Amino acid sequence: MNGVTTSPDESVQKNGTAPEQPTGELPAPEVSALEKELEEVRAQATENLDKFLRAKAETDNVRRRAENEVASAHKYAVDRFASEIIAVRDSLDLARAVDLSAANLEAVAKMREGLELTLKLLDDVFGKFGIAVLDPAGEKFDPTRHQAISMVESADVPPGNVVTVVQKGYLLHDRVLRPAMVVVCKAPAGE
């Protein structure tokens, strides 16, 4: 070579034969194999798309079902509590229906007994659901569980302790539902 490039036409002239040109066609067995492979790939793609769509639909159904269950759980969370508390309401209705116009001692005693049983029933329902009564008379004042409405001096109760419970408080497990309203003892003015 002398550093000069030759074109294909020139090489035909020099060698006397034309170089092989690709015709763009493959032999029949290769074409058949490629067509078969293409069909298999298309079938696999269709199958994969079908699997994907089914999985997506199942995921959507599971999500919708879970959302409905959560909504239902929120709506009916107090169902068990409500059915238990109805019995207490019935007992109170019976007590209210007692005729006290004659005001005889026996009727009053029976009514008091009925109210005591109703309170016991209510306490049992509260216990089933983790509700505890806060009745802190004589205990050390705890601002996380008690709400002081006033302070008084008392020789019988140490300063900082609850003298009187004006309204009982309630706990749901460890959480305060309502603090107890209390009167707290303060140190005498001379101390």
pLDDT for the residue 65: 96
Helices and strands: H and E segment counts in the chain: 4, 6
If pLDDT is split at 50, 70 and 90, which confidence band does 17 have?
Answer: low
Q: List the single range of 3-17, 47-61, 121-135, 163-177 with lowest mean pLDDT.
A: 3-17
d(CA 168, CA 115): 18
- Residue whose C-alpha is closest to residue 145's, from 162, 157, 163: 162
For residue 172, what is the enclosing H or E element? strand 169-172
Global pTM?
Answer: 0.54
Question: What mean pLDDT do residues 17-44 have?
Answer: 80
Structure tokens at 64: 């919708």
The rounded percent of the chain whose pLDDT value lies above 90 is: 40
Domains and their CATH numbers in the chain:
131-191 (2.30.22.10)
Rounded Cα gap, residues 138 and 160, in angstroms? 10
- Residue 147 CA to its chain's centroid (Å): 30
Q: What DSSP line would sit under 29-53, residue for residue?
A: HHHHHHHHHHHHHHHHHHHHHHHHH
Write out the two tokens for 21: 């040109």
- Dump pLDDT digits (tens) for 95-107: 777 766 666 777 7
Residue 153: per-residue pLDDT: 92
**Positive or negative torsion for Cα 66, 70, 75, 79:** positive
Confidence of residue 91 (pLDDT cuts 50, 70, 90): confident
pLDDT of 18 higher than 90:
no
Q: What is the mean pLDDT of residues 113-124?
A: 87
| Stretch 4-12: mean pLDDT | 53
